[in-house]
Amino acid sequence: MRTCCYITEMNNPIGFCIGNAIEIEESLDLMKYKVGRSKDLEELVCEQGGRLLVLTNKVQTIEEGREMIRETFKNG
């Protein structure tokens, strides 16, 4: 099984919200592609989603995976 991990800075929040419930709400809003979404959260989700697509052999490169995630956000 192939795995990877991400280490992120904990000095500042990723996204606009702090706290479990509202962080989940913000993540759901991001997936619904609502206006006013956090660019740093969107980038992290695209990076992680793109990596998962590579790890599951759905795409060849992380760039392809990121683009597939972005298109999914836009088109549902």
Q: Tell me if 40 is assigned to some domain.
A: yes
Show the domain range for 71: 36-75
Domains contained in the chain, number: 1
Q: Which stretches does DSSP call E strand in the chain?
A: none
Q: Tell me if 24 is assigned to some domain.
A: no
pTM metric for this prediction: 0.80
Tens-digit pLDDT profile for the chain (76 aa)? 788 888 888 888 889 999 889 988 998 888 887 767 889 999 999 999 999 999 999 999 999 999 999 999 888 7
Q: Tell me if 4 is assigned to some domain.
A: no
Q: Are 50 and 64 in contact (CB under 8 A)?
A: yes
Q: Tell me if 7 is assigned to some domain.
A: no
Token pair, residue 68, equals 């597939």
Q: Tell me if 17 is assigned to some domain.
A: no
Q: Tell me if 58 is assigned to some domain.
A: yes
